[in-house]
Structures are given as structure tokens and as C-alpha cells.
Chains A and B, each alone.
Chain A
Amino acid sequence: MTLDIRARKRLTQQFTLDVDFTVPPGVTILFGASGSGKTTLLRCVAGLLRPDAGSLVVGGDVLFDADRGIDVRPSQRRFGFVFQHLALFPHLTAAENIGYGLSGVTASERRSRVAEIAESLRISAVLNRRPGEISGGQRQRVGLARSVVTAPRVLLLDEPLSALDHDTQSRIIEDLRRWNSAHRIPILYVTHSHREVFALGERVIVLSNGAVVADGAPDEVMNAPETDLMALLTGFENVLDAVVETRSVTAGVMRVRLPTPTGLPPLGARGEEGTSDGGRPPHSRGGGIAERGVELEVPLTSSHPSAPIRVAIRAGDIIVATEPPRGLSARNVLPGRIIALTAEGSRVTLSVDVGAHLLVHVTPTARETLRLQAGSAVWLVIKTHSCRVVSADEPRVAS
């Protein structure tokens, strides 16, 4: 059974959802920044929002068709929907919540099915409590149990784990995988967390501004972004303009130069990196004051010498040294200076000027041990294969 989705929904002057794809049995991740249309799409599929145009077919059963005027009510679609804030009924116990969708069966049948799903999701102990009296993880499991106990033919999950800590997330993901291997139905799972993409997904679809911008296995899509837009969306904090200098086909690498930008105000006079960029993830796109420019060794692509390309590097893939490192396999060692340093939770972000401007993530412990502060001289170590060559792709503007 597969789910065929074609939907167009204009929400505002600026935003139109316009997608066309098929969801096979198994977990398909819908990934994207907030406002990219993930939840809108999910609500259209569930029937809670009516698309302006398109169709929705599950295993040959037409549930929506704008042209033919077909629009099956959400209550008749037999889709499971796990809401972002769960929407558990606060006045009902966990057991009553789970059994809510089992209205067509006898009381004893309902009891046994509720008990069975509760057992497999490890919430048997809290069945007689109300949602307000159980933990977040247990609530999450009740929400999941309530949706799957009805044996839906499609399961829709809207960021179901975003409020939980990592341990609880992992355990619930494990439960969901187990359930899914026994019930091969199409599952659409909305998230903006990289962790969940890799932990759950057999396939990931990336939405940006209402359109599908990438579609494939998590490894291909998330680790090897093909365009700079994808690089930003999938968490490559550094996207740098570069020019190919030399290519070495035998070694499978090429050297690129990050051109020194002209006409930029001196560093220090510029505003906080990334904030002037319309809410997109912080990144740097060239910049710097060095006169020499910076050379990087990157994996070989078909780009011609002197062709303009872009190089994407994850901030977490860059190693920081406070002395000139020696005896490394990494081919790129860039001397530079820390310009700014911001701590946020368990992560410290360094802005480093190496002639270009790079963002680097380190742990608070690393920061203390190395006594990193603004002005410190550092060497950045970047493996050749931590550099991804992406093609320029301006963000899509909704028509």
C-alpha cells in the first residue's frame, strides 16, 4: 500500500504549498525549517485542511480529488495522526484516550486491544491515570498508542518527539521502528531534527518554502547536499564561495581558493554573523581580511579550473588547535584568530577569521581546556572529505 500525494495549497500571498510525491510503506521523513510547510502538508493529508488542488490516493482508494469533488472526511480516512502537542484528551485516562478510536468494537475487545498496545509500548502501568499525571515520555507513548491501536492505513506524525530528552527520544524511536517492522504502512514523520532523520528514516523528503527540494536516503540527502540551499537546510553552517585552482584526478582531490572579498568593511565593524540573513541558519559565505586568500583541498568534482563553486563545511567537523599541529592526515590546516565566541547550551560557537570567516563548534570543556577566547590564535584542521562541493542555488521564491 502506498500513499500518493499531490497537493497545492495557497496559505498566504507569499506561501504556497505545492508538492507531488509518493510515500511507500516504511518511514518517510519530512524535513525542513519551521515555516517550510511540513505541518500544512500533514494536515492536508489528514483532511484537516483542504488543498486548493491535487489528489490523495491510498492503495487505489481516492480520498481527495479536487477535480472530481471528492473529499473524504478526516473521520472516515482511517489515518493515524500524532499531533505535535499530542492533543491527548485531558479529562480521560490513558486507557480511555487509547480506546477512543475503537468505538466500533465491543467493550471487552477494546480492553484487550488497549492492553495489548499498552504492553508493547510499555505504558501498562499508567493506563488509569490522566495525561496530566504522567511523564512527557509516557504521554508521547499514549499519543502514539492512541493512533496506532485503530490499525490505521497511514500514520502521520508531526514532530512527535521534539519536547523530549534524547534518551526518551531514542527509546520511543526504537518502539516506533519495531511497530513499523510489524505493520508495513506508509508513515510520514515530520521533524526538523537531524538526529531523528538518521535514527528513523529510510527516506527523507526536504521541504523548503512549500516545495520539495530534495528526496532520497538520509545519508545521501543529509550528508551530501547537492546545492548550497540544501547545505544550509541540512545543517552545514559554513558555505563558502571558492574558485577551483588545480585538479588532481589521480589523487581524487582539487585545490580551491576562497577569494578575498573586496569592498567589505573591516572585520569587527561587521554585524553579528548570520543575523542579517532572514532567519536562516548562521553561516558564513566568504569574507575575511587576509590579503593572501585561503586555499583548501576538497574532494574532486567535475568543476572546471577557475570555475566558481561553493564549499560546505559543518561547524562540528572542524578541529581547533592552539598550537601549529603536526603529523596530521588532514590536509587543511588554516591559521587564524577567534573573532567572537558564543555559548549556547552544551555547544560553543567560535567565529574564526582564517582569511575567510568560519563557524566552528566546540564543547564547553574544550573551550576551558584550551582557554579559547576572542583574540586567541588558533589553527583550524579540516579533513578533505569534510568539505562538500555544492552548486549555487538561490532560495526558491514561491510563485
Chain B
Amino acid sequence: MDWTAILLSLELATVVCVILLVVGLPIAYWLAFSSFRWKFLIESVIALPLVLPPTVLGFYVLIALGSRSPVGRLWIAWTGHPLAFTFEALVIASIIYSLPFAVQPIASAFSQVDRSLLDASETLGAGRLRTFRHVILPLSLEGVLAGAVLSFAHTVGEFGVVLMVGGNLPGVTRTVSISIYDEVQSLNLAAANQTALALLLFSFTVLALVYALLRKPWAVVPIQ
């Protein structure tokens, strides 16, 4: 079993999941409550990774992060080494790739909160932030949890984008799915099976735990 790859995948997924929650909550809030005329365009951009082949996405991310792009040059000036084929590049690519999986369930949960509760909160003197923290967020926990789990799981399972952007450097960019692919390529089926089985069991356990929590969220995440 390729423990290095498994740990790398978990690390990547955790970092991506945390960043996506931080970035995804305001985006979801905006999507749910803005009456901006061209909102549908933003929605389409965010949903793009759902329909694009991962290789297309990976290709453009690679170009965008390459040492000839502004982002790539900025990164080199900043850190002294190129961005492509690093763990950071994987994180950036995964964030873009998993964004809809985090944002969509959260935005949908936000927009299902009864609007009269928001009116009530406002007439009781609460500003937007207080309303968000004390009314919208607690009533959308299931959606937020679903967004977190989906983006985590989606990042663990991604293959095409990682291959395009990260390559195959053990301990740096060689994630579980790449590792399994490699083992199969070299006809090392037993090793592939071990890693695959571990991934399967892990995914199942996480999902089972989450669905159990969703049944009675208050018992697990007490809200003041």
C-alpha cells in the first residue's frame, strides 16, 4: 500500500476543503441573495468544472501557472521556484476543480432559508453579519457539511487535473489515484488493489459518518 500517496491525498483534500469553505461561504451567500442582473454568468463560470473534461481544465491551469504566465512569474519572484508541478499548484487546481461541489450545496441551503426569518432578524436590529452568523448559517449546516464533504471527496478522487498540473512526483504530487494508476500500469495489481481498497473503505466511512450526522445535526454541532 502506498502510504505516502494516501497521506498526500488526505493532506491535499483537507487543505482544499478548508480553503473552499472560507472562499465558498461568501460566494454562496452572494449567489443566494444577490439580485445582480448578470448573476447567471457567474453561476455558469462556477459550474464549469462540472462539465469540462478534467484535462481541459488542467491544461488551462497549467498554462496559467506556467513560468511564462503572470501568475507563474509572480510566484517565481516570490518563492524562487516555479509553480507548476508543485503541491501548491495542485491545491490551486483542486480549488478551481472542486469549487462547484462546495458552493452549490451551500448556496442552495442558503436560499432555502425562509426569507421571513431574515426579515425578522433585520427588524430585530441585526445587521447582515449577525443575521448570517445566527440565522442563515445554523439553518444551513447540512448544506455546508454537504459542501465540505463533497469537495473533500472530490479532491481525493481527482485524477485528470492532478496528472496535468502536478505530474507524478512521489510525496509531492503523486496522489492516491495517480499511484493506483501507476501500479496498474506496471501490472502490480495486488498493490493497486490494496490502495484502492483502503480508499474505498475510507470514503465509505466518511460518507456514512456524515450522513449519520446530517440526520441529527444539533446533537453533534450544538449551536448557541
Categorize the interface residue count of chain A: 20 to 34
A101 at the interface (CB under 8 A from B): yes
Q: Is the CB of A150 within 8 A of B124?
A: yes
A83 CB contacts on chain B under 8 angstroms? 116, 119-120
Q: Is the CB of B122 within 8 A of A48?
A: yes
B51 at the interface (CB under 8 A from A): no
B218 at the interface (CB under 8 A from A): yes
- Distance of A79 Cα from B123 Cα, bound (Å): 7
B7 at the interface (CB under 8 A from A): no
- Distance of A47 Cα from B120 Cα, bound (Å): 12
Given A85-B116, A91-B218, A103:B130 Cβ within 8 A:
yes
Q: Is the CB of A100 within 8 A of B124?
A: yes
- Distance of A80 Cα from B125 Cα, bound (Å): 10
Nearest-neighbor residue (CB-CB) of A83 within chain B:
B116
Nearest-neighbor residue (CB-CB) of A91 within chain B:
B138
Given A100-B124, A100-B134, A81:B119 Cβ within 8 A:
yes
Shortest distance from the beta carbon of B214 to any chain A beta carbon, whole Å: 15
Shortest distance from the beta carbon of B197 to any chain A beta carbon, whole Å: 40
Write 22 A-B pairs (CB below 8 A) sorted by A numbering.
A47-B123, A48-B122, A74-B122, A74-B123, A75-B123, A75-B124, A76-B125, A77-B123, A79-B123, A81-B119, A81-B123, A83-B119, A87-B114, A87-B119, A87-B120, A89-B117, A89-B120, A89-B121, A89-B134, A91-B139, A100-B121, A150-B124
- Distance of A378 Cα from B139 Cα, bound (Å): 60
Shortest distance from the beta carbon of B132 to any chain A beta carbon, whole Å: 13
B223 at the interface (CB under 8 A from A): yes
Question: Could you mark each residue 38-72 of chain A with 1 if its beta carbon is under 8 Å from any beta carbon of chain B, else 0?
Answer: 00000000111000000000000000000000000
Q: Is the CB of A75 within 8 A of B116?
A: no
The residue among A47, A81, A104 with the most chain B CB atoms within 10 A of its own CB is A81
Q: Is the CB of A103 within 8 A of B126?
A: yes
B15 at the interface (CB under 8 A from A): no
B117 CB contacts on chain A under 8 angstroms? 87, 89
Nearest-neighbor residue (CB-CB) of B116 within chain A:
A87
Q: Is the CB of B126 within 8 A of A75?
A: yes
B127 CB contacts on chain A under 8 angstroms? 75
- Distance of A91 Cα from B223 Cα, bound (Å): 8
Nearest-neighbor residue (CB-CB) of B218 within chain A:
A91
Residues of B at the A interface (CB closer than 8 Å) are 114, 116-117, 119-127, 130, 134-135, 138-139, 218, 223
A84-114 residues at the B interface, CB under 8 angstroms: 85, 87-91, 100-101, 103-104
- Distance of A75 Cα from B134 Cα, bound (Å): 15
A10 at the interface (CB under 8 A from B): no
B138 CB contacts on chain A under 8 angstroms? 91
B116 CB contacts on chain A under 8 angstroms? 83, 85, 87
Q: Is the CB of B119 within 8 A of A78?
A: no
Question: Could you mark each residue 296-336 of chain A with 1 if its beta carbon is under 8 Å from any beta carbon of chain B, else 0?
Answer: 00000000000000000000000000000000000000000
Q: Is the CB of A103 within 8 A of B125?
A: yes
Nearest-neighbor residue (CB-CB) of A49 within chain B:
B119
- Distance of A48 Cα from B130 Cα, bound (Å): 17
Q: Is the CB of B119 within 8 A of A74?
A: yes
Top 10 nearest A-B pairs (CB, nearest first) are: A101-B124, A87-B120, A87-B116, A81-B123, A74-B122, A75-B122, A91-B138, A75-B125, A74-B123, A87-B117
A87 CB contacts on chain B under 8 angstroms? 114, 116-117, 119-120
Shortest distance from the beta carbon of B127 to any chain A beta carbon, whole Å: 6
- Distance of A91 Cα from B139 Cα, bound (Å): 7
Q: Is the CB of A48 within 8 A of B121?
A: no
* Other-chain contact of A46, B121, B123, B125, B135 (Cβ < 8 Å): B123
Nearest-neighbor residue (CB-CB) of A77 within chain B:
B123
- Distance of A48 Cα from B116 Cα, bound (Å): 10
- Distance of A69 Cα from B165 Cα, bound (Å): 53
A216-268 residues at the B interface, CB under 8 angstroms: none
The residue among A78, A83, A89 with the most chain B CB atoms within 10 A of its own CB is A89
Shortest distance from the beta carbon of B162 to any chain A beta carbon, whole Å: 39
Q: Is the CB of B125 within 8 A of A101?
A: yes
* Other-chain contact of A48, B123, B126, B134, B218 (Cβ < 8 Å): B123
* Other-chain contact of B139, A81, A85, A90 (Cβ < 8 Å): A90
Nearest-neighbor residue (CB-CB) of A143 within chain B:
B120
- Distance of A100 Cα from B125 Cα, bound (Å): 9
B120 CB contacts on chain A under 8 angstroms? 81, 83, 87-89
B125 CB contacts on chain A under 8 angstroms? 75-76, 78, 101, 103-104, 150
A47 CB contacts on chain B under 8 angstroms? 123
Shortest distance from the beta carbon of B39 to any chain A beta carbon, whole Å: 21
- Distance of A88 Cα from B124 Cα, bound (Å): 12
A73 CB contacts on chain B under 8 angstroms? 122
Shortest distance from the beta carbon of A109 to any chain B beta carbon, whole Å: 15
A74 CB contacts on chain B under 8 angstroms? 119, 122-123
Shortest distance from the beta carbon of A74 to any chain B beta carbon, whole Å: 5
- Distance of A102 Cα from B179 Cα, bound (Å): 57
A203 at the interface (CB under 8 A from B): no
* Other-chain contact of A146, B114, B119, B122, B124 (Cβ < 8 Å): B124
- Distance of A287 Cα from B139 Cα, bound (Å): 58
- Distance of A46 Cα from B120 Cα, bound (Å): 10
- Distance of A187 Cα from B52 Cα, bound (Å): 57
The residue among B120, B127, B130, B138 with the most chain A CB atoms within 10 A of its own CB is B120
- Distance of A74 Cα from B116 Cα, bound (Å): 13
